[in-house]
Amino acid sequence: MQILAFGDSLTAGYGLAPGEGFTEQLEVWLNENAEVAIEVINAGVSGDTSSGGRARLEWGLAPVKDGKPDLVILELGANDGLRGIDPHITAENIDAMAATLAERDIPVLIAGMMAPPNLGPDYAAVFNPIFPDTAEKYGFPLYPFFLDGVAADASLNQSDGMHPTAEGVKIIVEKIGPVVLEALGL
């Protein structure tokens, strides 16, 4: 089975040594917990926004057999929030990617993100529902917050306070792993 992890630096493994990033740790975890071989393809681009992801979706699908992975983990939006991009733009981009994948009958796990608290409650009120609303619209499973259990914990983040350490990634993988298995029907 092939999973395409399509996202930003959180998917790409920014600041981590080989083997410590999300896709590598997830692949190991899945292969320890599933009875089939699973490959996780890293299609993360550090600094990518939802607009960038939307623009490169075709390219991201290209390395997968017939352009149709068994699952896409869609993890974008963090940089939109960090840059204060209008959440309506983010919503449009996430929806467009979900629509493209749904049209191709490619299963998707939406990895949600939360607005940075410094942008205030009005921004969060529009940004935070993007991910659950998109998952509901297309009938895709949702992992509500990709950084659950790691965000704001200095001991689990690199010195920039935004990117998880290898230990932080391990926590993410342990939390999202069962959801990925369920999305694969395993």
Residue-wise pLDDT for 16-68, tens only, equals 999 999 999 999 999 999 999 999 999 999 999 999 999 999 989 988 888 89
Q: Residue 134, exposed/middle/buried by CB under 10 A (0-12, 13-18, 19+)?
A: buried
pLDDT at 101: 97
- Residue 121 is inside which H or E element, if any? helix 120-127
Residues that are catalytic: 9, 160, 163
HSE toward the beta carbon, residue 123, CA cutoff 13 A: 17
pLDDT at 2: 96
Q: How far apart are CA 129 and CA 59, in angstroms?
A: 28
In the predicted model, residues of the chain with pLDDT beneath 70 are none
pTM of the model: 0.96
pLDDT at 66: 85
pLDDT at 67: 84
